[in-house]
Structure 1
């Protein structure tokens, strides 16, 4: 698709993603952001548009696909790749994903594109959706799109005095010193972690921001099972 204006192409991308419960998130031109342009298969890219979701918007669309692909390994990653590769082709873009190696700096891109900052759990927190959002991939363009990056956002953790996320974990895997992933996985495997497996990470659920967007129970269990097995 030929389009010299950023606003129409943003609208077209959003419309292409909507049938899958995905949303066009932030984007920017690498030069304007003073961020390194990625070199992939010998090609330099000049702009990026991030793609993700809020809450459980993708879940019914993904599960229908999963029913038709029951043997898929890493099914959510594969669904994301199937969908975004097709969408990228419509706009002359290249789709890239957080699971691709060598890893691309998705968190850095997200922080610049949407003005997000990390919560005490290390997850980027959104002022409206809290911890219940994700980035499923990105569309890279070989041309400059005038996209509004570095959008200042209110950081909700600044107003949170109690920090319930740091005290809700039953094995104290989160602290000011970071996240003890080994302790967390050991708890899930011990037989004492059913509340976390079935209901989702208790520390994440303790955050008061965006609770109405908490993932559905099946989606929560899917993510916890995938984490426990990784």
Structure 2
């Protein structure tokens, strides 16, 4: 069994079922030099991008969250635990040089995960400012990456996927109570933030625009996952407003 198959199989056991690869050159062509990979692993030749589509990842995280309810960042901690526990033995036995990267470490290890996903063809853009997958729709998240000194390649699952401009229904626009989504400007970040800070309970259970997307409806996150993410995004908005 080749290295990439072994890694992919190990991650699937934890609901990390969205895997892509990109060359270092393809990623670095999309980002400023400050987001380059040289400081993390100078020998990097390719990057494995790790995410989850649908709610399977949450199934594993749910009992962990209950046990670590008082921890400040249980989802980040769980991600590190399952990624490194499942992959480190495989990577170590392969003889490859490698390093993990995580989106929540951006301020100390600046890697653009949106551009990693773009370079890997893992998902396309959306008018909501989040990624869109042909199968999972907007119900995906990027969790981690592995920088490697090997050349690895997976076919890009969403290369060229950009359905929003041709979407006839556009239910996301009508669903947003803040009017913060439009065909012309996409997602109005400030409008969204202002509405949520003044009418937070209206969006406490889910982002209405995301929930109504025509793609991936059968893969929507479970209700407790939606509430968890909405609560954390609201806390981030409040902190942003306090700091500005």
Confirm or deny a common fold (TM above 0.5): yes
Quickly say closer, same or farther: Cα 1:57–1:165, change in 2 above 3 A: same
Encode CA deviations 1:138-191: one digit per residue, 9 max, x unaligned.
11112222444596344332431242222321111223335333432332333x
Taking structure 1 as the reference length, the TM-score comes to 0.85
- 1:121 aligned to which of 113, 123, 128: 128
Would the alpha carbon gap of residues 72 and 108 (structure 1) be closer, same or farther in structure 2, given more than 3 Å must change? same
Structure 2: which 5+ runs fail to align?
30-35, 93-97, 237-244
Match of 1:98 in 2: 103
Aligned: 1:81 with 2:80: yes
1:32-51 aligned within 5 A:
33=26, 35=28, 38-41=37-40, 43-51=42-50
How far the C-alpha of 1:82 sits from its partner, in A, is 1.9
* SS at 2:88 equivalent: helix
RMSD of aligned residue pairs (Cα, Å): 2.3
Match in the other structure for 1:229: 235
Q: Cα offset for 1:12?
A: 0.5
What TM-score comes out, normalization by structure 2 length? 0.80
Q: Distance in 2 between the 1:171 and 1:80 partners?
A: 32
- Cα distance between partner residues in 1 of 2:226 and 2:158: 30
Query: What does residue 4 of structure 1 align with?
Result: none
Measure how far apart 1:61 and its partner are: 0.7
Report the count of equivalent residues.
Answer: 221
- Counterparts of 1:77 and 1:17 in 2: how far apart (Å)? 16
Structure 1 78/196 Cα, relative in aligned 2: closer, same or farther at 3 Å?
A: same
